[in-house]
């Protein structure tokens, strides 16, 4: 294995480094600390056009593994095999289109718009309750 620790890099430097990768990995330990994480690196790596291999983190499995966008591996042996598949996979247009469609449905702008709509709906319900006329007693 050719692994070199390169230290911290600025955001401006990252595309140059990422361009040289054959695949991206998310080798999270499976424990209580990682049980409910949602790694933001997954869509970032996919947006860069990289195949991804991850341990079976729930959000990665459901959002990206089941649709076949990311390789999921639970053991070291499975991880090595999945990494081989990811490295040698064709970067076909169909996979790229599926990635782009998935990422378009989970952009930060869309997430914010959805959250804003929920906040506004709660606010409107609260206002409606506050200004509802009270029944008169006769």
Q: Looking at residue 25, which CATH number applies to its domain?
A: 3.40.50.2000
User: Cα dihedral sign for 107, 111, 114, 116?
Assistant: negative
Residue range of the domain that includes 38: 11-107
118-134 residue pLDDT tens:
999 999 888 787 776 66
- Is 70 among the domain residues? yes
- Is 92 among the domain residues? yes
- Is 136 among the domain residues? no
- Is 1 among the domain residues? no
- Is 112 among the domain residues? no
- Is 129 among the domain residues? no
Number of domains the chain contains: 1
CB neighbour list of residue 57: distance below 8 Å, 6 or more residues apart: 26, 28, 30, 34, 37, 38, 39
Between 46 and 6, the higher pLDDT residue: 46
Q: Is it the case that residue 1 has pLDDT exceeding 70? A: no
- Is 42 among the domain residues? yes
Q: Is it the case that residue 53 has pLDDT exceeding 80? A: yes
């Amino acid at each position: 294995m050719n692994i070199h620790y390169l230290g911290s890099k600025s955001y401006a430097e990252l595309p140059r480094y990422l361009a040289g990768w054959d695949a991206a990995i998310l080798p999270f330990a499976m424990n209580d600390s990682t049980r409910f994480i949602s790694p933001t690196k997954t869509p970032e790596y996919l947006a860069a056009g990289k195949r991804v291999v991850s341990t079976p983190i729930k959000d990665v499995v459901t959002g990206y593994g089941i649709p076949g966008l990311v390789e999921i591996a639970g053991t070291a042996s499975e991880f090595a095999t999945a990494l081989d598949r990811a490295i040698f996979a064709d970067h076909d247009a169909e996979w790229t289109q599926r990635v782009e469609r998935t990422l378009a449905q989970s952009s930060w702008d869309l997430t914010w718009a959805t959250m804003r709509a929920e906040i506004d709906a709660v606010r409107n319900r609260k206002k409606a309750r506050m200004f509802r006329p009270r029944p008169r007693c006769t």
